[in-house]
Amino acid sequence: MLEMKGITKRFPGVIANYRVDFDVYPGEVHTLLGENGAGKSTLMKVLYGLYPADEGTVLVDGAEVVLESPNDAIEHGIGMVHQHFMLVPTLTVAENVSLGLKSSRGFLTDLAAVSQKIDELSSQYGLDIDPSAYIWQLSVGERQRVEIIKALYRDARILILDEPTAVLTPQEVDQLFVTLRKLTDDGRGLIFISHKLHEVLALSTRITVLRLGEVTGQIPVEGATRESLATMMVGRSVKLKPDKLPSEPGEVELDISDLTVMGDRGLVAIDNLSLEVRRGEILGIAGVSGNGQRELAETIAGLRKAESGSITVGGVDVTGAHPKTVRKAGLAYVPEERMREGAIAGFNVWENLLLIDHGSKDFLRRGLFDFGAITDYAQGLVEAFDVRTPSIDTPCGSLSGGNIQKVIMARELSSSPTVLVASQPTRGVDIGAAEYIHRRLIDKRNVLTDAEFIQAKLIEHRNACTAILMISEDLDEVFGLADRIAVLYEGRIMDIVDPDTATREQVGLLMAGVEPETN
Amino acid sequence: MSEVFTVAVLVAVVASAIRLAVPLLLASLGETFGQRSGVLNLGVDGIMLLGAFTGYYAVLKTGNVWVGLLAGLVIGLFLGLASAVIAVTLKAEQGISGIGIYLFGLGMSDLLFQKLVGTPIPIDTFPQVDVPILSSIPYIGEMFFQHSMVIYLAFAAVPLAMFVINRTTFGMNIRAVGEYPEAADTLGVSVAGVRYATQLIGGSLAGGAGAVLAISLGIFQQNLTNGAGFIAIALVYFGAWRPMGVMAGALLFGFINALVLELKTLEIIPRDLSNLAAMAPAIITILVLAFAAGRFKAPAALTKPFTRGK
């Protein structure tokens, strides 16, 4: 029903898609797989009329179509569930759905009629949405269902789902898959974008893999394995689970007790929470985003006020302390918002590496920057952390997400912290880079692994035995890295489980707020 | 002191407050449309000044106040179009480009006045239209129902604006575009189209507001608005981007102005302090805005130009 032929899309300095062929048959789920930056989103934006293609043609039902705007795409029955939901938070579900459509009442809105049709679609596909609710009142999973309804309301026969599972709990993913199967039973064609291999294998009919803008393979799901897909994505074999030795936790370095914190809307975001992280261990915080992760990290880092409770870092009480004091106590912080809080896009690599230590005597000569020392230092970190940058004078904003994250990690770990708080350390980072950052976190914990980095490690981490609090929405990451997993739900720790014995389903239920069985 | 606050004085102050509120109300309603769609037009005062001169000049030449009002609306429409080209198509920094429009209006209105008129000649003002029956109610009639037609029309524009913003597809598009233009764009709503429309509405209402001001006073002079356009922008924030709130703000400022004028006339405020008293509206603006700041959320995309696929 859909054919894209020879699509090429260039951006200044980059070829995002090169002669990509892609097609969809009715009733199938065709997955588009690839690392971040492989060109999946670009290809879909071309299909949805958001980007013009430089070369190539798109055929719908055998006839060539021109897609110059989302309107054209909608007209040809193409719908898209965007990764970043395209919903206006201050409008209701019905208003969002009817936006851009002709009203049956002329220039007046016809929300009653729209609501009725939404109810019909909801019950038909098990989507369960109240048309009169405002978007800001809805959970992430509900918002996604609104996105699907929006596309169905417009009679989308081809539905693009751009990383729909990234923000969902495992149970919500199951529910989504049930809905998606109903859609394919109706003869609709789905394009599923993901880099979670087990989901791809569970849902797909066919899989097309993109790497660096080119198709590297197209295979039916039968016979595909996680390893074979990962190899196609990255171009070499990948370890899906990082190696690590069992942890040998020491004394408590980060101690949070009875902490209560308010969120931006003035509601309780962290609710009487207590946690301990010991030196030499990684405590993973799992949970769906918006359950207090950001507030927890910010409060530890001194960026948000605690209502009550206390936080100690390395034995020093830092509750309510200035971020500088908290850092002095031995905290390093890798924030969730890499580009907004972690690095300054307009600053170049060495400036970003020096953000914390620019007042240090090591880098000053008579009060002015000592560029010799700075260059040596920055160059050293760039090499140690394998930052792929043309030079240390390149602005951080022009690096890839993974390389920016490596710059931030380099800066934060260079101070040999007692405690490291890392929020979403690999979100939006390519698997190649993610693999590296994982390795680094483990090195930090235990100096004796991974011969490849021994030299850098010996110098850099000679005092290291850091207590690491890792906040992540990626269950694979939490299971792969953490020594203990604490599940955060509505600002409370539901339970702390051992990743070696706990199952994903068990953690998924905790993430959804289901109390653990006590026996 | 007490004999000053007689019923007669109060009635006069309220009636005058309503009259003084109208130019602010019109300009502010227009700016509300613009801001709800995500465009901040700081040039309102400049558009008002050109609208005021054009309206004044048209009445001077034709003797018809309605031709004057129409002239103000039309010149405002053109300046609204210019604002839209600058802010929407050229994607200029809205905090700066509006200042350019203001300075243009300020200079151009004075230049035209000097070249075309020179010495101020009084013109006809809007005739008073008493509302049948209601205007004969004691006190109430004098306060609310013995005004000119434009004043009734301006207040009628408030529910109309509410209706357009909240009940029409156009209004829904405005709200969507001001809040999350990317989402509106993916559904085929023309972000630029909606923003052009709100700039045209805002421009013509600002031009009309200026014309109402000049024709009500029956005169034009350099910088006639005395910053009313900036107060109008502040009122949009004060009114939390809602027509009713904007109207409440316009009435409050009209009332303060009327009170200060009345107290000056009655020489309660000593003559040498009258300049100080003239600052009252400005000071109250600052206080009210400081109080209102952060209580209500501005449209999320306010002042942000939209580029597809970014």
Minimal Cβ distance to B168: which of A70, A80, A108:
A108
- For residue B170, the chain A residues in CB contact (below 8 A) are 107
pLDDT of amino acid A37:
67
pLDDT of amino acid A256:
94
Q: What is the pLDDT of residues B141-193, one digit of tens each?
A: 988 999 999 999 999 999 999 999 999 999 999 999 999 999 999 888 999 99
Helix/strand/coil for A2: strand
Q: What is the DSSP track for A96-107?
A: HHHTTSPPTBTT
Given an 8 Å threshold on Cβ–Cβ distance, is A99 in contact with B167?
A: no
pLDDT of amino acid A363:
86
Q: What angle do CA B16, B20, B25 make, to 5 degrees?
A: 135
When mean pLDDT is compared across A276-280, A358-362, B123-127, the lowest value belongs to A358-362
Q: Which residues contact A368 (CB under 8 A, 6 or more apart)?
A: none
User: Using 50, 70 and 90 to split pLDDT, how confident is the model at A455?
Assistant: very low
- Asked if A150 is an interface residue toward chain B (Cβ–Cβ < 8 A), one would say yes
Question: What six digits make up the tokens of A402?
Answer: 């993974």
Question: How confident is the prediction for chain B on average, in pLDDT?
Answer: 91
pLDDT of amino acid B48:
97
> Cα(B88)–Cα(B94) distance, rounded to whole angstroms?
9
Phi, psi (5° rounding) for residue A102?
-70, 135
Question: What six digits make up the tokens of A196?
Answer: 């979670």
When mean pLDDT is compared across A240-249, A313-322, B82-91, B205-214, the lowest value belongs to A240-249
Answer whether residue B105 shows pLDDT above 70.
yes
Answer whether residue A518 shows pLDDT above 70.
no
Query: In B, residues 126-185, which contact A (CB 8 Å cutoff)?
Result: 167-173, 175-176, 179-180, 182-185
Domains of chain B: 2-292 (1.10.3470)
- Asked if A100 is an interface residue toward chain B (Cβ–Cβ < 8 A), one would say yes
> Cα(B147)–Cα(B154) distance, rounded to whole angstroms?
11
Taking Cα atoms as reference points, which of A254, A255, A259 lies closest to residue A271? A259
Helix/strand/coil for B24: helix
Question: What six digits make up the tokens of A417?
Answer: 């912290």
Given an 8 Å threshold on Cβ–Cβ distance, is A109 in contact with B172?
A: yes
Answer whether residue A460 shows pLDDT above 50.
no
CA distances from A404 to A138, A442, B238 (A): 32, 20, 41
Q: What angle do CA B101, B155, B199 make, to 5 degrees?
A: 30
pLDDT of amino acid B238:
86
- For residue A87, the chain B residues in CB contact (below 8 A) are 180, 183
Check: CATH 3.40.50.300 for A2-234?
yes
CB B266 within 8 A of CB B4: yes
Q: What is the pLDDT of residues A105-154, one digit of tens each?
A: 888 889 999 999 999 999 998 888 999 999 988 888 899 999 999 999 99
> Cα(B27)–Cα(B204) distance, rounded to whole angstroms?
9
pLDDT of amino acid B264:
81
Question: What six digits make up the tokens of A244?
Answer: 């690590």
Check: CATH 3.40.50.300 for A252-511?
yes
Given an 8 Å threshold on Cβ–Cβ distance, is B173 in contact with A108?
A: no
> Cα(B80)–Cα(B206) distance, rounded to whole angstroms?
9
pLDDT of amino acid B74:
98
> Residue A237 corresponds to which amino acid?
S
Which burial class, exposed, middle or buried, applies to B265 when counting CB atoms under 10 A from its CB (0-12, 13-18, 19+)? exposed
Q: Tell me which of A458 and A334 has the higher pLDDT.
A: A334
pLDDT of amino acid B175:
96
User: Using 50, 70 and 90 to split pLDDT, how confident is the model at A429?
Assistant: low
pLDDT of amino acid A472:
86
When mean pLDDT is compared across A108-117, B249-258, B260-269, B275-284, the lowest value belongs to B275-284
Torsion angle, CA of B211/B217/B222/B224, rounded to 10 degrees?
-70
The secondary structure element, H or E, covering residue A206 is strand A206-211
CA distances from B168 to A88, A105, A322, B30, B174 (A): 17, 9, 50, 17, 10
When mean pLDDT is compared across A449-463, A496-510, B259-273, the lowest value belongs to A449-463
- Asked if A91 is an interface residue toward chain B (Cβ–Cβ < 8 A), one would say yes
Question: What six digits make up the tokens of A248?
Answer: 């040998």
Given an 8 Å threshold on Cβ–Cβ distance, is B169 in contact with A48?
A: no
- Asked if A74 is an interface residue toward chain B (Cβ–Cβ < 8 A), one would say yes
Among A35-39, A158-162, B254-258, B292-296, the range of highest mean pLDDT: A158-162
Bridge pairing between strands A364-365 and A368-369: antiparallel
Minimal Cβ distance to A70: which of B175, B188, B300:
B188
> Cα(A310)–Cα(A293) distance, rounded to whole angstroms?
17
Q: What is the pLDDT of residues A382-393, one digit of tens each?
A: 888 777 778 888
pLDDT of amino acid B2:
52
Each domain of chain A, given as residue ranges in start order, spans 2-234, 252-511
Question: How confident is the prediction for chain A on average, in pLDDT?
Answer: 83
What value does the mean pLDDT take over residues A500-511?
Answer: 86
- Asked if A52 is an interface residue toward chain B (Cβ–Cβ < 8 A), one would say no
> Cα(A304)–Cα(A333) distance, rounded to whole angstroms?
14
Helix/strand/coil for A286: strand
Q: Tell me which of A392 and A431 has the higher pLDDT.
A: A392
Nearest CA in chain B to A153: B187
Q: What is the pLDDT of residues A236-251, one digit of tens each?
A: 655 555 555 666 777 8
Minimal Cβ distance to B186: which of A82, A98, A108:
A82
Q: What is the pLDDT of residues A4-59, one digit of tens each?
A: 999 998 877 677 888 999 999 999 999 998 876 678 888 999 999 988 999 999 99
Nearest-CA distance B290 → chain A (Å): 20
- For residue B192, the chain A residues in CB contact (below 8 A) are none
CB B289 within 8 A of CB B283: no
